[in-house]
Each structure stands twice: as C-alpha cells, then as structure tokens.
Structure 1
Amino acid sequence: MTTTIDPSEVAKFEAMAAEWWDPNGKFKPLHQMNPCRLDYITTQVAAEFGRDLKQPRPFAGLRLLDIGCGGGLLSEPMARLGATVVGADAAARNIPVAQLHAEQSGLTIDYRNVPAEDLAAAGERFDVVLNMEVIEHVADPLAYLTACQTLLKPGGLMICSTLNRNPKSFMMAIVGAEWVMRWLPKGTHDWAKFITPDELCDLITRAGLDPVDRKGMVFNPLAWSWSLSDRDLSCNYVTASVKR
C-alpha cells in the first residue's frame, strides 16, 4: 500500500510532542474534549461487543488500535478498561512521550511509530479501531479509511471523529482555538481538509464499512464543557461503523 501520510501534517504534531500530557498546553482542547470522546467510545464498544461497563475491565479480550495515538490520551483509558492496546502514530517524537507516560502509569501499551497502511500490510487485525481527529490530516482520506477497514476483523468497530466544514467550524476551530485562544499553533488545521458528515459517511461506505451511528460533540462556552448531541454536528462530530 502507498502511504497516506502528509509529511507537513506530521511535522506540526512532532513540534508539539512534549506537551501531550500538559492539560494547559497546546493539547488543552483535547484534554477538555476527552471525557466526551470516551463517553461515546465506551458506549459504542460496549454495545457492539455486549460488554457491561459496570464490570471491572469490561473490554478484556478485545484488541484495539488507536491510530494517531499522540501521547496516549485515549490509549491509556482503553488499556485501563482491559483492552489490549496498540497505539500507532506517524510522528516519531510522540512515541517515547506515550511510552514514558504509560510506564509511569503502570500500563502496558504497544506503542509504534508506524502508519496504518504498514500495519494493514503486515496482517495486523483488531476488534476496534479508534480513528480520532486524524482523517483531516491525511493526504488521501479514502485510501486511509480503506486501510482502517483492512485492519478490522469481521464484526469489528471503527470510531472516527473529525471536524465539519462550514463557517462555524472555521470560526471555532481556527479563529477561536488557533487565533484568539491560542490553544493550538496557527496552521494546525487546514479548513479545506475538514469533512462534512455526509462526505465522511460516503467515504466510510466506499471503504467497505457500514456506518451505524453519528453524533455531534458540542462545546458549551458557559459551562466550559463538552457534550454529545444527536442533532448538532455543525463542528466536531464522531461516527461509528462496522465491518460486516
């Protein structure tokens, strides 16, 4: 397979690697969004595989891939819930940061500096693929999603989140987060690469997966918190799809 990695996008995250676990650093938006993301992920995984979230280590026996794992903000809670986790990232500097934090947290996570295409070509297969805030940074979204589909076992589940492309997302994700609040360096996001929910649904279907759910992740500036919405997919949103 040819790689879908965009070197210029990788370089952006390489430059910020040391700040992954600083809740007030450049990844502050992800730290704030993480409870909302985890709520969606755990609910979808539990429903798809018949797991009881009230039980200790409910995801035991599931093999999970966190693509674009960064410093491990999602990999670590998935490991705590019992999943066998592989964290993959194209930015080499992210991996030692993630490995050190997992070690300090007493967690065993297989972190690798490798693209999704290489994992697929090597025959790696997973019950769950987390594909969170990555697709807007790749060079070829369809080829990338096709690699994700290959990585899933039959009956497997992919969770994919990204940003809608409209004036609101430009104002919030670029003007707000990058220019005004300065949570992220200017140029972290390219609005032209944002993907509408209907476009993503079409891409997922063309890649060989069946979309089964999608929800918005909505920021409330008054409560300074994130929540899931069945109706508001105007900015951040997340989807679930399965490999039949």
Structure 2
Amino acid sequence: MDNATATSAAAPTIDPNEAAHFGSLASQWWDPNGSSAMLHKLNPVRLSFIREAIDAHFGSDSRSVRPLAGKRALDAGCGAGLLCEPLARLGAAVCGVDAAPENIAAATAHAEAMGLLAPLPYPSPEGEGAAGTVTYLSGELGTLNLGTFDLVTALEVIEHVTDKAAFISQLAARLAPGGLMILSCPNRTLTSRLLMVEAAERLGQVPRGTHDWNQFATPEELAALAADAGLELGEPKGIAWSPLKGLALSDDLSLNFIVTATKG
C-alpha cells in the first residue's frame, strides 16, 4: 500500500453535523409518511437498477429470488437499513455501516423484528457469510476491519462526506476482485438546486438542511474520483421526477444519477 492509499484508508470522512442531522431522524426512518418519505419513494427505483446490474454483472437469472446467495454485500451510509434489508432478501450476507449510532440502533431493531439480523456481528468469522442476514456497525469506514465484499453500495452518501476522494478510495478498498459497486448522487445542476433543495426542502418533502447543493457531484467529477481510486464507472442512469411518473429511471441525469463501478 503506497502512502497516498494508506492516507486515504485512514482519512476521516464523517461530518459530525451531518451525522447528527440524520441521527435525529432515526426514529422516523422506516415511516413511509415520515421525514424519510422521499427515500421510500426512491428505494424501488434504486432497487430496479441494482437488480438489473447484479444480473448483468454476476450472470444471475433475472427470475431468481436470491441472486446474491453466497455473496457478501456492504452498504456504506446505510441509514436505518432501507437498502440493507432488500439486499439480504436477495440472499446476501449484508453489512451496513453508518456515521450515526442512532441510525444503527434503529436499523438493528428493525432487522431483528423482520428476522433478518445476523446472529453475530462482523468481523467475527462466525458472524460472516450468514446468507440473507444483516449486521450493522457505526463508525468510520476506513477504520473498520471488514474485509472485502462482492457488492458495495453507497447511495445518496457521497454528497454528505467531508472528503469525497478518501471515501471513494475506502469503498474501493472494500471491493473484492470481480466485485460490483453501485453509487448514486444528486447532480450539481440548476434542476437539482430547484427541485431537491429549494422545492423539496421548502415544501417539507425532505427535512430542512438535508442537502448542501455545493456538495453534489457531477457524473464527470465522480468518474474522475473513481478513476483515481482504480475504479471504472459504467454508463450512468438518471433518476428523474415527473408529475405523471414520480421518480423513475431515465436518460435525464440532471436531477440525480446512479451508476455501477468496477475495479479497472
């Protein structure tokens, strides 16, 4: 490991203010009508992209209900587990990591109620590889001893970290050879500023203070960060909004985009 890689692996990326903001919303995370209502609308759209990407990358049968059986998945910035639980139901042994201990507590309680909580936490060898279960940890991704994963996801997280380059490098370090990474981020455009910050936050669709438009990344910026970390991005897909369809996958990248990444 060279000095630059070692520095990135240990660099702090958690913004305490961001962690406190999202931690304060933990009790409402699983309420589809609460402060995370927009995430509940977004989640099926993201899962559609993820399932297609999994089948394309790993060659799984699109009719299979457990295409991730025998695989390990990491969701970085997992919140209270809205993505982790579906990944577990797809057969993965899932580890969710988040900056806010309150989110991890809410995620753990919900997974336990759903019968999805892993019997033992990472990095215990006995706790790893439990197909169809989730375990949760709070802390800096770069300092947790987690090993590598077949699938790594970080959705709507990059815009909330203090050091994007270090965070992407830490994600890359967790990706196993031949693995698949999926990233999503709001695009820094006039459209995202008007709809995600001005409209959504002012109209109460998203809690005030959730987004800092200046921290959004463009697809070109994310591609450059990924390349520096030894990753190659696929073709981004937009997540757009319309009055008729609501949120849906689109060729329009101006609001939000989701993309695969693999080791080059």
Q: Please tell me whether the aligned partners of residues 214 and 240 of structure 1 are also in contact (alpha carbons under 8 angstroms).
A: yes
Paired position in structure 2 for 1:84: 93
Deviation of the 1:16 alpha carbon: 0.6
| Letter of the structure 2 residue corresponding to residue 238 of structure 1 | I
Mapping for residues 48-197 of structure 1, pairs under 5 Å: 48-107=57-116, 108-119=133-144, 122=145, 124-180=147-203, 182-197=204-219
Q: Is the 8 A contact 2:54 2:67 kept in 1?
A: no
Secondary structure, counterpart of 2:247 in structure 1: strand
Of the three residues 247, 254, 262, the one matched with 1:226 is 247
Distance, in Å, in 2 between the alignment partners of 1:25 and 1:123 is 32
Unaligned runs of 5+ residues in structure 1 are: none
Query: Structure 2: how far apart are the matches of 1:33 and 1:221?
Result: 15
Quote the residue 1:21 is aligned against: 30
Indicate if the aligned counterparts of 1:165 and 1:195 stay in contact, CA closer than 8 A: yes
| Structure 1 residue 176: Cα displacement | 1.3
Query: Number of residues paired by the alignment?
Result: 239
Q: CA deviation at 1:8?
A: 1.1
What does the per-residue CA deviation read over 1:15-62, in whole Å, with 9 as the maximum and x for residues that have no partner? Answer: 111111000111111100111000011111121111113123121011
Q: Does structure 1 retain, via aligned residues, the 8 Å contact 2:152–2:180?
A: yes
Secondary structure in 1 matching 2:47: helix
Alignment of 1:3-14 (within 5 A): 3-14=12-23
Q: TM-score, normalised by structure 1?
A: 0.95
Provide, for residues 74-96 of structure 1, a one-character-per-residue CA deviation record: whole Å limited to 9, x for no partner. 10011001011001101000011
CA distance in 1, matches of 2:39, 2:230: 29
What secondary structure sits across from 2:69 in the alignment? coil
Mapped to 2, the partners of 1:125 and 1:55 lie a distance apart of: 24
Partner residue, 2:56: 47
1:240 and 2:254 are equivalent in the alignment: no
Cross-structure match for 2:232: 210
Which amino acid is the alignment partner of residue 114 of structure 1? G
Identity of aligned residues (%): 46
Contact residue 79 and residue 103 of structure 2 kept, 8 A: yes
> What RMSD over aligned residues (CA atoms) do the two structures have, in Å?
1.1
Q: Which moved more, 1:109-118 or 1:137-146?
A: 109-118
Q: Which is further off, 214-223 or 69-78?
A: 214-223
1:50 is aligned with what amino acid? G
Correspondence for 1:201 among 220, 223, 231: 223
Provide the secondary structure at the position in 2 that maps to 1:109. strand
Q: After TM superposition, give the deviation of residue 185 of structure 1 in Å.
A: 2.2
Partner of 2:234, secondary structure, is strand
- 1:3 & 1:170 partners in 2: Cα distance? 27
- Contact in 1 for aligned 2:71/2:93 (Cα 8 Å): yes
